[in-house]
Amino acid sequence: MAEALVLGTMYFGGRIDTATSFALVDRFVAAGGRMLDTANAYAFWAGGSGLSETAIGEWLRANPGADVEVASKVGMTPAGDGVEGLGADVVRRELVGSLDRLGLDRLDVYWAHGEDRSTPDEEVVETFGALVQEELVGRIGLSNHPTWRVERMRMLAQQRGLPEFDLLQLTTSYVEPRPGAHVEGKDHPYGFANLETADYLAAHPDVGLWAYSPLIQGAYDRDDRPLPTAYDHPGTSGRLAVLGEVAAELGAKPGQVVLAWLLARDVRPIIGTSSIAQLDEAIEAAALTLTEDQRRRLDEPA
């Protein structure tokens, strides 16, 4: 169902103009979608940080009372020779900026966008936990963090009686890159969900996973966008063959089956689209039902 999808808004206000951004949110909400995902850093590469949040804020002001939720992030905006990080002063300052651009008094989800090993984990845990206690944010999540640090931060929160990070945002899809291979365009070394992630989630059912770039920039369905070379291995060939078979059985595109497969595994895909047609395909995918046999075949190692 569409409410399980997350609408990614990385390019709103930059590559995607205001009119198209509004049309995408309108269509998403009309189909039953609710969660919009943005970040204070979007889209610094297109003219300035906060463009995406500003575009969403304009939509919210044009649609008062809309039944939507908003998630934003902090920590990865360029600053000096690096990024802003997750220091307490930065997180609180940037939350104020995000809320102002969005025209909100609270966020439904607030993400630590990436690791900051220069800030003590204790400080990060106390800062984000306090934001939940102050009702400035609803839930808190960790994006692009290794599993061992997720567990450490959750343990630190438990010890302090603070709200825990209970959401992870990582990139994952049906096919996986070779272990240790560099994936072009991926800057976070711990940004991929892997076998350890799956094991952690199985042992901690209170923790949810959101998947960004689940369709690998359209590689499943577009001949002009081949998979990155890091995915070139026998396992990928076998998985793509099964994916094609199931897609044919369902009368769907391979990319739609990937989204349906992720949803069946309780993963929330973040859908980054630039057109209504692409969004409609994702919405249709959310309505697909995989049979037990199809699930089994898709789940089996290639």
pLDDT confidence bin for 289, thresholds 50/70/90: very high
pLDDT confidence bin for 302, thresholds 50/70/90: low
Tokens linked to 39: 């970040």
pLDDT reading at 44 higher than 90: no
pLDDT confidence bin for 47, thresholds 50/70/90: confident
pLDDT confidence bin for 65, thresholds 50/70/90: very high
Spatial separation of the C-alpha atoms in residues 210 and 193, rounded to whole Å: 10
More confident residue, 127 or 47: 127
pLDDT over 90, % of the chain: 91
**What is each CA distance from 203 to 149, 190, 196, 208, in whole angstroms?**
16, 20, 11, 12
pLDDT over 70, % of the chain: 100
Number of domains the chain contains: 1
* 70-99 per-position pLDDT tens digit: 999 999 999 988 999 999 999 999 999 999
Among 184, 84, 194, 110, smallest CA distance to 148 is for 194
Domain of 264 in residue numbering reads as 2-299
Rounded to the nearest integer, the mean pLDDT of the chain is 95
Q: Which domain CATH number covers 171?
A: 3.20.20.100
Among the residue ranges 125-134, 176-185, 232-241, the one predicted with the least confidence is: 176-185
Q: What is the pLDDT of residue 180?
A: 83
